[in-house]
Amino acid sequence: MFRREFEEAISLLPELPAATDFYLTIDLDRRIFQPHWTMPLRLQSITAPISTLACRTVAEFHPHHLSLALSQIFASLTLPKLQQVLLGCSVYPQLVLEWPHTQFLASCDRSNLGRCLKTLCIAEALEHLEVGDVPGNAGESNDSGLVLIADSFLCAMTWVPAQDCLVPRLSYFTCVSRLVFTHGLVVDFVTSRLARLPDSPILFHVCIHPLPESDACLNSAVHTRLWELAVGNKQFVYQSGEECIQIQ
């Protein structure tokens, strides 16, 4: 029953009008689906004009079951007008998504998502994140749509006990930025992540680069503080511009 409903739902995509938001609920309850279970879906190659693809699991699941389902979805889909990808689960962060990187990136390439994708939200085991602002003229406000690395982004990336944060398993962060955020928030972000590392083998690496040909630079006091954190912590690497600061 699950497979037939799943295939029917995906098969509807080409019939949807442009700019449709498509929400898919996936129930892979581990009390029903045993660990050895596989789900070979009969999905054709599909091109659809939807603007939002949202997949959410309900109940507890075996992570590899969800990875299998998502891999088959992304392997079949080409979405040339996609603006949002939202992947989540009802029991996050107790369970996280094992999302299929190879199939997802192949779908991004086929769909040319570098041209149209604006929002990527994945509550899962992502560890490596590289993001960049869009170049713009000096003096433009944060509301111009050109700024990703803003105060709201840094606050969402900052870990606070008993609260969710973006990319909870982050170990490598690089940004190419217009540096229009409140610079002290970078210190809050870094120190919050380092507070989680004492019992972990993770090496936390942060790279902050201004946009090329930009006169902006990171606040000197903030740069000094990040340098001090790197000198005092063997699990932290800080890079700004061409500098890389790490104690071996």
pLDDT in tens, 163-211: 778 888 889 999 989 999 999 999 999 999 999 876 667 799 999 998 8
Q: From the DSSP assignment, how many helices (H) and strands (E) are in the chain?
A: 7, 11
Whether residues 135 and 120 share a domain: the answer is no
Report angle CA 16, 44, 107 to the nearest 5 degrees: 80
| Whether residues 23 and 93 fall in one domain | yes
Lowest mean pLDDT: which of 12-16, 50-54, 243-247? 243-247
Q: Token match 């409140």: residue?
A: 182
- How large is the angle between the packed helices 63-76 and 101-111, nearest 10 degrees? 20
Judge whether residue 142 has pLDDT over 50: no
pLDDT of residue 7: 82
The domain boundary, picked from 125, 156, 186, lies at: 125
Nearest 10 degrees: Cα torsion 215, 224, 202, 199: -150
Residues 141 and 214 in one domain: yes
Among 34-38, 158-162, 242-246, top mean pLDDT goes to 158-162
Checking if the pLDDT of 246 tops 70, the result is no
113-128 confidence digits (pLDDT tens):
878 888 877 766 678 8
Residues 43 and 94 in one domain: yes
Look at 20-24, 90-94, 226-230 and tell me which has the smallest mean pLDDT. 90-94
Mean pLDDT taken over the chain? 81
Q: Are 121 and 138 in the same domain? A: no
Task: Choose one of 110, 125, 140: the last residue of a domain.
Answer: 125
Mean pLDDT over 94-102 rounds to: 73
Domain boundary among 125, 160, 187: 125
- Domain span at residue 152 reads 126-248
Residues 104 and 202 in one domain: no
Asked if residue 146 and residue 115 are part of one domain, the reply reads: no
Alpha-carbon gap, residue 208 to 135, rounded angstroms: 15
Residue 209: strand pairing partners: 176
* One domain, residues 140 and 104: no
CB distance 128 to 143 below 8 Å:
no
pLDDT at 247 (0 to 100): 41
Q: Are residues 68 and 158 in the same domain?
A: no
CA distance 126 to 132: 17
Specify whether 107 is located in the same domain as 175: no
Looking at the structure of the chain, the number of domains it has is: 2
In this structure, the answer to whether residues 154 and 96 fall within a common structural domain is no
Same domain, residue pair 106 and 2: yes
